[in-house]
Chain A
Amino acid sequence: MAVGIALSARLQASLRRTFVVLGDGELQEGSNWEAAMTAFHYGLSSLLAVVDRNQLQQGARTEETKQMEPLAAKWASFGWEVREVDGHDHAQLLDTFRRPGTTRPVCVIAHTVKGKGVSFMEDRVEWHHKVPSAEQVESALQELSA
């Protein structure tokens, strides 16, 4: 869909940029790579995709479920400009978001830890989908505000 949005902006000679957030696990779905090919073919430098690279999907780690690596090389081979950042560093994110691609679409691989800052959630696969209890919410909020 983001490719359609970016193409539409270009036809209108608009400077509007298009941002899309992708999970890492969902990149196992082929539709992403169809879109990646189209975006490169049409030189959609106004398009920036952020991959939340937290290494976890519904049932297990991404690399156990279906290997994603070398992920940066995959995007690069599809013609995209690839940038890797610490997804918890807001300054790095802001800096990279401010810079559109020169001639090609941009893929920002944001390395993250799911549940960051909450000791009992960090990097644990069950928190991909689990709903916290009221007590767990309370304790998580305490940790985050500490």
Chain B
Amino acid sequence: MSQAAQATTLHDCRRAFADTLIALAREDERIVAVCNDSVGSSNLTMFEAEFPDRMINVGIAEQDLVGVAAGWPTAA
């Protein structure tokens, strides 16, 4: 193993995504999460716990995921 690889700390990118999203959502109430069933595997459990009203789970329905996400900001 190279020195560079040894020096690198592995970081879960989904955790980084969730932490950043939560930090942004605390500052901007317009931020919501729209999810297609994968609350846990998208690492959105903490987001849902903190912002239960701002978490929409459309189920396994990707077309609807896009539709809801497109419609929401037009009325926000």
Interface residues of A (CB under 8 A from B): 1-9, 11-12, 16, 18, 30-31, 34-35, 37-38, 41-42
CB-based contact A35/B64 at 8 Å:
yes
Q: Which of B53, B59, B75, B76 contacts A37 (CB 8 A)?
A: B59
CB-based contact B67/A7 at 8 Å:
no
Q: Chain A's nearest CB lies how many Å from the CB of B56?
A: 6
| Cα separation A59 to B54 with both chains bound (whole Å) | 43
Chain B residues within an 8 Å CB radius of A12: 76
| Cα separation A8 to B73 with both chains bound (whole Å) | 8
Interface residues of B, dominant DSSP: helix
CB-based contact B61/A5 at 8 Å:
no
| Cα separation A41 to B56 with both chains bound (whole Å) | 11
Q: Does B16 contact A (CB under 8 A)?
A: no
Interface residues of B (CB under 8 A from A): 32, 34, 53-54, 56, 58-59, 61, 63-64, 67-76
Given contacts A7-B56, A11-B53, contact A38 B64 (CB under 8 A): yes
Chain A residues within an 8 Å CB radius of B56: 7, 42
Chain B residues within an 8 Å CB radius of A4: 34, 67-75
Chain A residues within an 8 Å CB radius of B75: 4-6, 8-9, 16, 18
Q: Which of A1, A7, A37 contacts B61 (CB 8 A)?
A: A37
- Residue contacts A-B, CB under 8 angstroms, 24 given: A1-B67, A1-B68, A1-B74, A2-B71, A3-B64, A3-B68, A4-B69, A7-B56, A7-B68, A7-B71, A7-B72, A8-B71, A8-B72, A8-B73, A8-B75, A9-B75, A11-B32, A18-B75, A34-B58, A37-B61, A38-B58, A38-B68, A41-B59, A42-B56
Chain A residues within an 8 Å CB radius of B64: 3, 31, 34-35, 37-38
Chain B residues within an 8 Å CB radius of A6: 75
| Cα separation A37 to B59 with both chains bound (whole Å) | 9
Chain A residues within an 8 Å CB radius of B70: 1, 4
Q: Chain B's nearest CB lies how many Å from the CB of A22?
A: 13
| Cα separation A90 to B16 with both chains bound (whole Å) | 55
